[in-house]
A and B are shown apart, each in its own frame.
Chain A
Amino acid sequence: MRYYCRPTLMEVFSAAMGVPALHLQNLGKTYSNGLIALRGIDLTVQPGDFFGLLGPNGAGKSTAIGIISSLVTRTAGRAEIFGHDIEKQPWEAKRRLGVVPQEVNFNGFETVEQIVLNQAGYYGIPRRRARQNCERYLRELDLWDRRKLVSRTLSGGMKRRLMIARALVHEPRLLILDEPTAGVDIELRRSMWRFLEALNRTGDVTVILTTHYLEEAESLCRNIAIINKGRIVENTSTTALLNRLNTHSFILDVDPLANAAPATVDGFVLRQVGPQQLEADVQRDQSITQLVQALAGAGIYVRSLKNKANRLEEMFIDLLQQDASAGNGQEA
């Protein structure tokens, strides 16, 4: 039996030797119509990481995932999964990889159970073990009661969960999810977050996530790479990325103002956006406590406050603007 929930001894040894879960070297893709989707990206994801790959539409995220999962042919560079080249050692590389694509890609005429069992079979997993894994993941993803349903009758959220179960049935060491929560309601999204966090917390499964929901990346990912127009424009830890934010804007709900709000209070820049609403900028060396105290001193009482935008979103937009102004604005 070559399938294990736990890493093999060789994989433990490889991890100790610093073999990354994913290593992309100078990975490039130019489509036959001349469109350059990837301009030689380098990326390393360490085992056990929860990694976010972010970028605007058309940035090259899905192309990169397509190459890693053998759905797109690379035109330059190399891609390795746990030290195994995906083209030279496809068996070793692919059996360690699970992919949850952006769009539904299962047979709508098969049942939930058939889809998961067949996928296990394609990975060479014996039927009995495939059934055990199928039950385990369908139960964990709340699909066990619906296992006999024809897949096309499932709701959107169930289809997403089915694709996750299918990607996990062969117990991969690297799980790549391409916008798994797109179009999913908030309750289900949170439950998927919890599932993925628990999966990653075991240390056995490295997770790479692409998402448009930046609060999702901020909440889940320890490290983040931002890709724009086929280039990696940032690759660092989520904490380091957020620490770079110099200014943080808040929306404040305040008691009714007798007069117009001042433009600044004790060094805090204020903007009045409504009769009972202010916007305030807090610099990196300032605190919210100081802001609230300063406003109170000016006779403005804060009832509640919230982020003007997701912190990572601010950083993301900032980085893309920097990239564009640095002359990388040509169309991919």
Chain B
Amino acid sequence: MYWQESLIALATLSRKETTRYLRIWVQTLFPPAITMALYFVIFGNLIGPRIGPMDGYSYMDFIVPGIIMMAVITNSYANVVSSFFSAKFQRHIEELMVSPAPNAVILLGYVSGGVGRGLLVGLIVTLVSLIFTQIQIHNIWITVSVVLLTSILFSLGGFINGIFARKFDDVAIVPTFILTPLTYLGGVFYSVSLLPDTWRIVSMFNPVLYMVNAFRYGILGSSDIDIRVAYSLILLSILILGATALFLLRRGTGLRA
């Protein structure tokens, strides 16, 4: 396919994905705002003052980056896995498969939808957090690049989940049993420096920890881990998941008989 046609196909798929999550905003944009507002109220306002400062910041300020990142991760993932699986389930994925749109365009189109929703929800949660605290951004470039790369990474993860999913249960398994524990144990609500040595070492195998801390560094200028390690890990993971997704599309896994 030629570049011009590929770009038109990509724009079409991106538009379609964006329209989809905006059309069902009550399911996609509104609930994260409510959930995260509750986190701010309960953990930040009610419990936070009793916990005291963390890493030199008020507890509310400390959890804001993690909660924003948690919303970005879960929504990026959920958007792609549910949209792609629905397309498979309703068989309208065949519209793309019979077309000459290259696999890379199909992948980028779905990922763009996930990134769009993830960033939009992230922005909404950020605005909600402003009700409770003042955010001073330490480094805008690190903040934006980390949230963007993380959103891409989890959108790719959602795409691969969507490829393998055969029933609606399969769409829920990874977010419920893998993504949520990793996120909650990824330093959103605490600093890993508070953990005993053994659990701190165990936490280092949790990839979400690197993303949350890199994002926290972008906003607060404080992190439990080396920011360069976090970038390397995120970029390497994107490359691996991207290549895997393209390989699966090329093979037609879960798509072609």
Select from chain B the residue with minimum beta-carbon distance to A66.
B257
Residues of A within 8 A of B13 (CB): 118, 121-122
B185 sits at the interface (CB 8 A):
no
- Tell me the bound Cα distance from A103 to B96 in angstroms: 16
Contact, CB under 8 Å: A101 / B94: yes
Contact, CB under 8 Å: A71 / B100: no
A18 sits at the interface (CB 8 A):
no
B6 sits at the interface (CB 8 A):
yes
Select from chain B the residue with minimum beta-carbon distance to A96.
B100
Residues of A within 8 A of B4 (CB): 124
Contact, CB under 8 Å: A72 / B6: no
Q: Which of A105-113, A224-232, A322-330 makes up part of the contact surface? A: A105-113
Select from chain B the residue with minimum beta-carbon distance to A122.
B99
Other-chain residue from B9, B23, B256 in contact with A121 (beta carbon distance below 8 A): B9
A91 sits at the interface (CB 8 A):
yes
Interface residue tally of chain A, by bracket?
35 or more
Contact, CB under 8 Å: B252 / A121: no
Residues of B within 8 A of A124 (CB): 1-2, 4-6, 8-9, 100-101
- Tell me the bound Cα distance from A120 to B87 in angstroms: 18
Select from chain A the residue with minimum beta-carbon distance to B92.
A107
Contact, CB under 8 Å: B257 / A72: yes
Contact, CB under 8 Å: A122 / B12: yes
- Decide: A105 near B12, CB < 8 A? Known: A124-B4, A124-B6: no
A70 sits at the interface (CB 8 A):
yes
Other-chain residue from B95, B102, B257 in contact with A119 (beta carbon distance below 8 A): B95
Contact, CB under 8 Å: A105 / B256: no
Residues of A within 8 A of B9 (CB): 121-124
Interface residues of A in 283-330 (CB under 8 A from B): none
Select from chain A the residue with minimum beta-carbon distance to B3.
A124
Residues of B within 8 A of A213 (CB): none
Question: Interface code B95-114, partner A: CB below 8 Å = 1, 0 otherwise?
Answer: 11111111000000000000
- Tell me the bound Cα distance from A126 to B2 in angstroms: 13
Interface residues of B in 73-105 (CB under 8 A from A): 87, 90-92, 94-102
- Tell me the bound Cα distance from A101 to B97 in angstroms: 13
Contact, CB under 8 Å: A107 / B90: yes
- Tell me the bound Cα distance from A93 to B5 in angstroms: 15
Question: Interface code B1-21, partner A: CB below 8 Å = 1, 0 otherwise?
Answer: 110111011011101100100
B4 CB, min distance to chain A CBs, angstroms: 7
Contact, CB under 8 Å: A123 / B99: yes
Interface residues of A in 120-145 (CB under 8 A from B): 120-127
Residues of A within 8 A of B100 (CB): 90-91, 93-95, 122-124
A221 sits at the interface (CB 8 A):
no
Contact, CB under 8 Å: A73 / B8: no
Residues of B within 8 A of A71 (CB): 94, 97-98, 256-257
Question: Interface code B60-73, partner A: CB below 8 Å = 1, 0 otherwise?
Answer: 00000000000000
Q: A121-B11, A123-B99, A123-B100 are in contact. List 15 more A-B contacts (CB 8 A).
A: A31-B257, A63-B257, A73-B252, A73-B256, A90-B100, A91-B102, A105-B90, A105-B92, A106-B95, A115-B95, A119-B99, A122-B99, A122-B100, A123-B101, A127-B8
Chain A interface (Cβ < 8 Å from any Cβ of B): 2, 31, 63, 66, 69-73, 90-91, 93-95, 97, 99, 101, 103, 105-110, 114-115, 117-127, 166
Chain B interface (Cβ < 8 Å from any Cβ of A): 1-2, 4-6, 8-9, 11-13, 15-16, 19, 23, 87, 90-92, 94-102, 252, 256-257
Q: 10 shortest A-B CB distances, which residue pairs?
A: A124-B5, A121-B12, A122-B99, A105-B91, A94-B100, A91-B1, A91-B100, A107-B92, A72-B257, A124-B8
